[in-house]
Amino acid sequence: MLNKLAVACTFVAFAVLIFPLIQGQEGEPAVVIPEDCMKCLCRASSFCNLTAPCTTGSQYLCGPFLIGVNYWADAGQPTLLPDDDPNATGAFEACAQDKACAERTVRMYMNEYAQDCNEDAVTDCEDFARIHVLGKSDSCFAKMEGLPFYTEFRKCRDSPVVV
């Protein structure tokens, strides 16, 4: 009986403590971003416009999440297809303009840089929104009130049905 208990405890310890660490090391996201949060990030970025061209303003941003090339690079340069060359011309645009690849980019970026930006002792969608727009550094602590992104993000988060 004692051996069965020891085996069960070992399994639980592995499942709870070790498996998440292995997942994070293998490139799988250790930070979980709920689907409703991803939808609000997309909606606040571009109203989730899947056909929007890359912007040519002060920043070069592409796709439904309005991802910049540095953000994409910091996320590990994910590509549309597993064997694609991230250094090939157009690799960034192809990924950023594809919703699945763009979502993967956001998840990889957050996996690398998630932090409690609003200092409420929880790393959640509010923090992901701050990091997505304000960046990975201490700038995520800056005020976002009044930014069009944040206004739309809050509307999305506060609505009973997330679109």
The domains located in the chain, with CATH, are: 35-158 (1.10.530.10)
Confidence bin at 16 (pLDDT 50/70/90): very low
Instruction: Determine the Cα–Cα distance for residues 104 and 107; give it in Å rounded to an integer.
Output: 5
Helix (H) or strand (E) holding 3: helix 2-13
Q: Once rounded to an integer, what is the mean pLDDT over residues 139-159?
A: 92
For 20-50, how does the pLDDT look when each residue is reduced to its tens digit (9 = 90+)? 333 333 455 578 999 999 999 999 999 999 9
Q: Would you say the pTM of this structure is higher than 0.95?
A: no
The long-range contacts involving 73-82, CB below 8 angstroms and separated by at least 24 positions, are: 74/109, 74/112, 74/113, 74/136, 75/105, 75/106, 75/108, 75/109, 75/112, 76/27, 76/108, 76/112, 78/104, 78/105, 78/108
For 51-108, how does the pLDDT look when each residue is reduced to its tens digit (9 = 90+)? 988 998 888 999 999 999 999 999 999 998 888 899 999 999 999 999 999 999 999 9
